[in-house]
A and B are shown apart, each in its own frame.
Chain A
């Protein structure tokens, strides 16, 4: 039976390339999305998954400071959604 630390590290090491494949597919849609809502939706899904990926990376690198960046990233992309929706609907950004 291998140790817990080695098992968790090996698991995350095999999980990282699959996340990279998913991120590159999201980036392809964000670059070639025909309309503005397509681009914003792709960046939306990409950034929420990036927040989850940062939490997993903080276990991998043993650095707890990455958790704070994940929370900020989730809040930032929500504000991007709301601003773009507001601009599309009313053609102005509000005060």
Chain B
């Protein structure tokens, strides 16, 4: 008979492992992708897959760990709240950054085939 705490900890560790894999892949992609707009893809993987998933996993591990004492519920609740905050804030922030970078021309679309957004704004160069 395996205890309920043990199952919670195993599920949490599997989620943390998925998060670590996504984090490593996102950092390699952030280093090797050619321009800013392709790197946004790696940033999405790094924030949602690499931060939200291990935060949920850490909440499950903290909820199932008896050795943390009474404060483990505080740690689990704080981890879930941080996960919800990151889930709401990371797409909004990167969307605002991408919009500003394209409108101000701070990041060029360098290896480009077509940029329909720029053509729609009339800035055909």
Contact = CB atoms under 8 A, between A and B. Distances in A.
A34 to B, nearest CB: 8
Contacts of B52: 52
16 contacts: A4-B65, A8-B9, A15-B16, A18-B20, A22-B26, A22-B27, A25-B31, A26-B46, A29-B39, A36-B106, A48-B47, A49-B51, A55-B58, A64-B78, A67-B74, A89-B103
B89 interface: yes
A78 B24 contact: no
Contact of A67 (B5, B16, B82): B82
Which size bracket describes the interface of A in this complex?
35 or more
A48 B24 contact: no
A92 B52 CA distance: 32
B100 interface: yes
The 3 closest A-B pairs by CB, nearest first: A81-B93, A67-B78, A25-B27
Interface of A: 4-5, 7-8, 11, 15, 18-19, 21-23, 25-26, 28-29, 35-38, 40-42, 44-45, 48-49, 51-52, 55-56, 58-59, 62, 64, 67-68, 70-71, 74-75, 77-78, 81-82, 84-86, 88-89
Interface of B: 5-6, 9, 13, 16-17, 19-20, 23-24, 26-28, 30-31, 36, 39-40, 42-43, 46-47, 50-52, 54-55, 58-59, 61-62, 64-69, 71, 74-75, 78-79, 81-82, 85-86, 89-90, 92-94, 96-101, 103-104, 106-108
- Interface residue SS majority, chain B: helix
Contacts of B65: 4-5, 8, 59
